[in-house]
Amino acid sequence: MSARDDSGRDRKPFPKRLGELAVSIVVLTGVTVVVGYGGWAVLTLLAKLGGPDPETADGDPLRERLLAWPERNREFMRNDGWGELPLKP
C-alpha cells in the first residue's frame, strides 16, 4: 500500500524511486557514450571518404586557415589587444 501526499496523489516508496533514478543514470550514461563515440566514428568515416575540401576566397584550403586561427588569436592577446583582431579564420 502506497502513501498519499497532501494533494491525494500516490507517492512511490523511496527504494523504488531510488531504483528508477539508478536505471535512468545508467541508461543516459550508456546513450551518451554510444552517441559520443558514434558521432566520432561518423565524422572519422566522412573524413576518410573525402568530399569537398572548402577553400577560402584566396584559394587556400580552409582547414589550413582554421588550424592557424588559434595562434593568431593568441598573438593578439599577447599584444594586449593591440593590432588587428582576427574575428574570422
Q: Give phi and psi for 24, each to the nearest 5.
A: -60, -45
Q: What's the confidence (pLDDT) of residue 26? A: 96
| 36 vs 81 pLDDT, higher one | 36
Of residues 23 and 59, the one with the higher pLDDT is 23
pTM of the predicted protein model: 0.39
- In whole angstroms, give the CA distance from residue 4 to residue 12: 9
- CA gap 20, 33 in Å, rounded: 20
